[in-house]
Amino acid sequence: MTTIFLSHSKHDSNIIDIFRQSFAGTNVNPVLMEFEQFTNPPWLDIKRNIENSRALFVLLSSNLKISDYTQNWVSYEIGIAVEANKQVWVFEDVNNQTIFPIPQVHHYMRYNPFQNESLNYLQTIVRSYGLNSQGALGLGLLSLLAFSNPAVAIAGAVIGSQINIPSQPTGSKIICPYQNCKVSFQYHNLDSNILCPSCRQPIEIQFQNNP
């Protein structure tokens, strides 16, 4: 099963619920780790789970700033993801901007939790990380070697090969104009006035095409 690691504050239960729903009905699982789940040392559990995931989703909110403890762990998770060549997505509620700079970001989406179009777009992103037909078929064939009932394994392979995996939304390429930043990222929204997810300085976007 494909996984995506969610970097979040434990106080963001409403946001976590929104993202859990985006994973529902997909062949992608979210990885949400709370400290009581860790085996010591906790950094090793986090590192292993990020390295085994397809991407890192940072759920940006004001709760990330509640404690230095939370901020340090989120920064650590981002650093591990970048080192492991995982895509870093930053998601921020359009109604709640937070001054929390993310040094390295590949994709930035401002979502509206009350808008179906926005939530559907979010689920498309999640689904795009699912196994493609070749990957699903391959897992089914590997199952054939692992299970005593070949009919079950072959059926799983056939069903898996028919899973419809959408292309990953590309968004619009943005380069932060500030000399002290210049971070390049893909932006997934049509709002023309945003804060750069990396330096949190204001940017006015001139769209050439829609995300």
Query: How is the chain split into domains, by residue range?
Result: 2-130+167-204, 131-164
Nearest C-alpha neighbor of 56 from the set 30, 92, 36: 30
Q: How far apart are CA 207 and CA 36, in angstroms?
A: 45
The correct answer on CATH 3.40.50.2300 for the domain covering 2-130+167-204 is yes
Checking if the pLDDT of 59 tops 90, the result is yes
Q: How far apart are CA 67 and CA 143, in angstroms?
A: 45
Q: How confident is the model at residue 16 (pLDDT cuts 50, 70, 90)?
A: very high
Q: How far apart are CA 52 and CA 86, in angstroms?
A: 10
Checking if the pLDDT of 138 tops 90, the result is no
What pLDDT, on the 0 to 100 scale, is given for residue 166?
A: 84
Checking if the pLDDT of 150 tops 90, the result is no
pTM: 0.82
- The answer to whether 5 and 50 are in contact (CB under 8 A) is yes
